[in-house]
Amino acid sequence: MNIQLNLNIRIFYIFIIFLIGCTNRKLIPIDDIGSLKNFDLSRYEKTTHGGINYYLLSSLNDYTINGKQLSDSTIDFQKYGEQNRIYLLETHKPNQVIGFLISLINDKDAKTVINNLKIKRNLPFTLDTAHAVDYGYNFAKKNFENFNRTFISIIIKDNRLNSVRKHLINTYQKQLSKKMMKQPYYQLDFSALLCKFEIKVNDIEVLSMNVDGQTATDIPINAAIFGSGLQKIEVKGYPLNGTKKNNAEAYIRYKVVEYEVGTGEFIFSRNFEKYQTPAIKEGEPFIYHTSTFMAEVPYELQSWNTLRNIKNLKTDIAPALTKAYQRLIKKAKEGDYKPLIDAIKVVEDRNSKTMYLSDQDTKQRIKSILDDINDGFSIIDLPESRVLSYGGNGKLVRFVRTDGNSALALESDKTNEQIVLDFWFSLPNESEEFQVF
């Protein structure tokens, strides 16, 4: 009882100190599982993944393991800092706080924490570790730097939590060896004449353009393929900008082509059926064609199967989606680009998996945006005249401008140029907060 009372008083004082802006730190023991109920979870930043809530505990506090203070080792990347993090873990069903996840970037600190925990007797928790290589962007040097990250999970001893422990290890364990496997790469061989067209794969737009003439191109579509199976293609052609009727000669022609890129070269595998839209009939509002094809890919985005159908929700999602955007915009306007960079990493990590990009390719794609930020591009407010746009058969949503482009963008005061950030947001099961997909 005394221990619980002391901890309550300690946390209360931390809250008062935070309110009055004092920088004095207090020590909080995190290895006492019995004290978990004394944390006020509403105070901490929360993310959700795989049925577990992760509460990022305040960096204003110092935490102890077995009475010894954790080192506050930090890699300082100027605007983008990667540091040690401590998360409090909570399961959904039942709603239960079960322990901590400690993310450390210093090998020496990680060994010290693990040793301190292991010397304890009659541990009321189980201890697991996983290792991964992470990276951050150094704005001063304009390059990426790798560092080792150690994940230490401290979970209450309970056989019913074994699946949670396995999930944590699988989520954070770095795959040290990659098996050689086939890497099918799908492209849309596409041409159009005298129309404004839109192409969707699995209800995700991959290209739109106004063509006052003729165009032919090859479009990579793996980024919209989230696993093996039947894939759906939709093409639409509208009247050209400034006109009200479709041109009588307008058409759209396309076919899917599969290549093998596992060797580092594009090797033709096969063609799928070729399609062309029929001749325009008087009064038709648009040209339309849909088809399917079977894709076999060596990956599957597990997260896709855990997303809710947003379009079917019987609530106004605009306020919650606006809040998700503002979490990125507000921080960036304050000079903290880390949330935006983390969001870019989420998108590019997904692209890396679906398009078989190397680590260097992924970093370069991110770097091109970060260099623009470093050169004076800054985030802009959401436009007032924005509308909701759904994708992925209702599982994805975003705000778009009246011209159909994503509402999230960077702008340069010097050149008035804009960089559109094509982010989609999703709503994972059991979560009420939108997350970048």
State residue 6's pLDDT score: 35
Kindly compute the dihedral angle of the four CA atoms of residues 114, 118, 119, 123, in this order, to the nearest 10 degrees.
130
State residue 9's pLDDT score: 33
The Cα–Cα gap between 196 and 207 comes to 11
State residue 14's pLDDT score: 33
Quote the Cα angle for 127-132-137, to 5°: 135
- Coil vs helix vs strand at 332: helix
State residue 174's pLDDT score: 54
pLDDT along the chain (437 residues), means of 10: 34 34 66 77 81 85 84 73 86 88 88 86 85 79 82 91 87 53 92 94 93 93 94 94 91 96 89 93 87 93 87 93 96 91 92 90 89 91 95 95 92 92 91 91
Report the half-sphere exposure of 240 (CA within 13 A, side-chain side).
13
State residue 260's pLDDT score: 93
pTM for this model (two decimals): 0.78
State residue 78's pLDDT score: 66
The residue assigned the tokens 């353009």 is 209
Tokens of 436: 């970048």
The residue assigned the tokens 């989606």 is 321
Phi, psi of 333 (to 5 degrees): -65, -25
Give the start-to-end residue ranges of the domains of the chain: 2-172, 184-295, 303-436
Contact between 252 and 289 (Cβ < 8 Å): yes
State residue 24's pLDDT score: 56
Q: Which H/E stretch holds residue 172?
A: helix 162-172
State residue 144's pLDDT score: 80
